[in-house]
Structures are given as C-alpha cells and as structure tokens.
C-alpha cells in the first residue's frame, strides 16, 4: 500500500492513474506540453468539455502539484494561465507514449466511417 498526500493506493499504477486518470486530465496535460495556456484556450481546444468539469480537473491537477495556475491582475481583464510544474513535466514521456498508442489504435482499429 502506498500513501500520497493522504490518499491510499494499492500499487504504483494506481498512483499514476490517481493523478492523471479520467477522461480529461491527460488531455489537459497533453495540451500543456506545448506551454502555458489560458483557461479559454484550453476550453476551445477540448471542445466538448463543460466549464464545470474543466475547472474541477484543473483544480485536481493543481492540488496534486502537476500544474500551476498563475493569475495576472496588473490590469483588467484578469488573465489566468496554466502550465506544467517541474513535477508535471516528468509526465511528458508518459503522455507522449499514451498519444502514440492512441495514434496506433486509430490507424489500425478505428471504424472506417469515423476516420474519414
């Protein structure tokens, strides 16, 4: 059993999935590999995610120390940017592998009408 920030995990893979698991977290992290993004930019890239879900996922990633949120309030309008922390950057090889495997699946197993 592993304990990270008060949460218990039965094995190493459950630690990883506890931090990046779910439908949207890996998507958020994948887009942040390229650099800082504003909330609205992330939302636009992610299309079907709801505002509430995106906000919750960003908060969870921030709580886990994977992303950081910077608020710039020197002049209106308020500007908020999200980026990977140094800890979050350690996930880049994993995220790239997940993306490559997804490409492989799409190329080899996707339904023909979905890829057109």
- Take residue 76 and report the two structure tokens written for it: 């209106």
Q: What is the pTM of this model?
A: 0.89
Q: How far apart are CA 77 and CA 110, in angstroms?
A: 43
Give the orientation angle of helix 25-32 with respect to helix 12-20, to 10 degrees: 80
- Take residue 26 and report the two structure tokens written for it: 């890996």
Neighbours of 80 (CB within 10 A): 14
Range 25-102 has CATH code 1.10.150.120:
no
Dihedral sign from CA coordinates of 63, 37, 85, 89: positive
Tens digit of pLDDT at every position of the chain (116 positions)? 999 888 899 999 999 999 999 899 999 999 999 999 999 999 999 999 999 999 999 999 999 999 999 998 888 888 899 999 999 999 999 999 999 999 999 999 988 765 55
């Amino acid at each position: 059993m592993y304990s990270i920030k008060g949460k218990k995990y039965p094995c190493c893979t459950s630690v990883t999935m506890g931090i990046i698991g779910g439908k949207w977290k890996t998507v958020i992290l994948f887009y942040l590999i390229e650099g800082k993004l504003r909330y609205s930019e992330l939302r636009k890239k992610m299309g079907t995610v709801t505002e509430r879900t995106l906000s919750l996922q960003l908060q969870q990633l921030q709580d886990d120390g994977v992303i950081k949120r910077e608020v710039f309030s020197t002049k209106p309008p308020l500007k908020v940017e999200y980026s990977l922390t140094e800890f979050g950057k350690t996930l880049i090889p994993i995220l790239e592998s997940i993306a490559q495997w997804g490409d492989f699946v799409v190329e080899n197993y996707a339904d023909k009408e979905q890829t057109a």
